[in-house]
Structure 1
């Protein structure tokens, strides 16, 4: 009887003192919960990277032709130059002719140079006279921007709209690579276009209704500024028309909101520097 009582007591203490079954059960449930939370966090991060379904990112390219000639000086600069010339003439020394050797080679070269008449090329070209906005030989002292006429992303095909060349961002590594693919296959070669920086110079957000589902979709247009270095080719062109316009003329083609934004985003103030 005593041995049975001692054996049962030892077995009861061992069972009560062994915490492994309960700990294993708790750790298993905790690991399952932690695993579930990790999967939810990973799924949430994937959704954040892909972006919300009602939002689309578009890369737009503002291709510009740089000025070909120096712009005319500002009126205040011209007034200062005239004043300086008149002021210096008052104190200029005049030497008598007997001191000047008219037969010297230096004076002869000066006389020959004075007889030469230099006529600079006209600043106003034939394209300026006829207002040919498809030509690059106009507004030589200004920047010209390329705009196209077609159907921008998000708009209906009932009306042609002027806009910058654009492309929907899909799976490119960077948004700049998406912007480069806008012009290279169609308008210019890779070596003929220089992109100013890797980041966009501005962005414009607008909410439009989807053409099929009629649900609101947010379109984020990021503008990349680029400069034309070579020739332009219009191969595989998907637009109805195009034009090369100045900053002031650009505001005539766009809507009111976009025109006000372009007036602040695009810089063309070279004429005030010289």
Structure 2
């Protein structure tokens, strides 16, 4: 008798039962209707979809800046303490090194023959100091071969008056791109010959700098948020395609000479230092 009662509970359905999908749709319609009735007097437009275009706060502009760098071409010299340890280790190992008699060594072996031939060759490494270093040619990429070089341009940055030329990173104002990374990539479109000539390090910016500037026309203050993206040069650069007055490839220390005090202090912390070889 108990089994028949339980079977009746599991198999029977109420006469007014509705599928779950219809119940959810009905509750959703009731919720939207109630919400619209509450927001009629307040001018709320809840059922409108958001616009796909970017619309920032009034008096604020977002700028994408690109810090294009040329990586070191040669291995930087070791740190002084590392060099001192190498010399000490070599001198310490020499006093315990065994010297075998010549009759124990097979002169006709291939390895010994190669060593004898290599001893006769005179190898002269290429100079670390190039002609561009001696002339201090900051437009050349053949200088500071063991350092990172950053590209800066001379022109009129966004938000500044056109009365004076200012050194800055290549930049572009953010409009309605899907991401800030795409906006940063468009900055170097007229600069590089191919897309593979530049490699962007990550999708996120490496830093941002906020400054309030007066509008040249209305004199009202506008906040400029500059987001810096790191990129590395892998190919060639087309300098003739630019709208800038001048350009330069400088190291981190030289870069601080071109920027203002506040921005120079920030760049000193944001940009990566050249790491010395520690092995």
Within-5 A mapping of 1:145-160: 145-160=150-165
The one of 235, 253, 261 equivalent to 1:230 is: 235
Distance of 1:178 and 1:189 partners within structure 2: 17
Distance of 2:89 and 2:35 partners within structure 1: 87
On the 8 A contact 1:207/1:216 being kept in 2, the answer is: yes
The one of 165, 188, 196 equivalent to 1:183 is: 188
Q: Which residue of 2 aligns with 1:83?
A: 88
Query: How much is the aligned-residue C-alpha RMSD, in angstroms?
Result: 2.4
The one of 107, 123, 128 equivalent to 2:133 is: 128
Q: Which residue of 1 aligns with 2:266?
A: 261
TM norm structure 1 = 0.83
Identify unmatched segments of 5+ residues in structure 1.
1-27
Structure 1's 113 and 53: CA in aligned 2 closer, same or farther, altered over 3 A?
A: same
Q: Which residue of 1 aligns with 2:16?
A: none
The one of 52, 62, 75 equivalent to 1:57 is: 62
Deviations for 1:161-220, whole angstroms, at most 9, x for unmatched residues? 000000011111111111000011234421111000111000000001110110111000
Structure 1's 204 and 188: CA in aligned 2 closer, same or farther, altered over 3 A?
A: farther
User: What secondary structure sits across from 1:207 in the alignment?
Assistant: strand
On the 8 A contact 2:200/2:229 being kept in 1, the answer is: yes
Structure 1's 156 and 30: CA in aligned 2 closer, same or farther, altered over 3 A?
A: closer
Q: Shift of the alpha carbon at 1:234? A: 1.7
> Is 1:93 the equivalent of 2:98?
yes
Within-5 A mapping of 1:166-205: 166-205=171-210
Q: Which residue of 2 aligns with 1:6?
A: none
Q: Shift of the alpha carbon at 1:33? A: 3.6
User: What secondary structure sits across from 1:191 in the alignment?
Assistant: helix
Q: Which residue of 1 aligns with 2:118?
A: 113
> Is 1:252 the equivalent of 2:227?
no
Q: Shift of the alpha carbon at 1:113? A: 1.2
Structure 1's 260 and 188: CA in aligned 2 closer, same or farther, altered over 3 A?
A: farther
Distance of 1:210 and 1:251 partners within structure 2: 26
Q: Shift of the alpha carbon at 1:110? A: 1.6
Question: Radius of gyration: which is bigger?
Answer: 1
Q: Shift of the alpha carbon at 1:101? A: 3.8
Q: How many residues align?
A: 246
On the 8 A contact 2:64/2:172 being kept in 1, the answer is: yes
Deviations for 1:46-68, whole angstroms, at most 9, x for unmatched residues? 7xx62211000000000000111
TM norm structure 2 = 0.82
On the 8 A contact 2:132/2:143 being kept in 1, the answer is: yes
Structure 1's 156 and 91: CA in aligned 2 closer, same or farther, altered over 3 A?
A: same
Structure (1/2) with the larger helix percentage: 1
Q: Shift of the alpha carbon at 1:104? A: 4.2
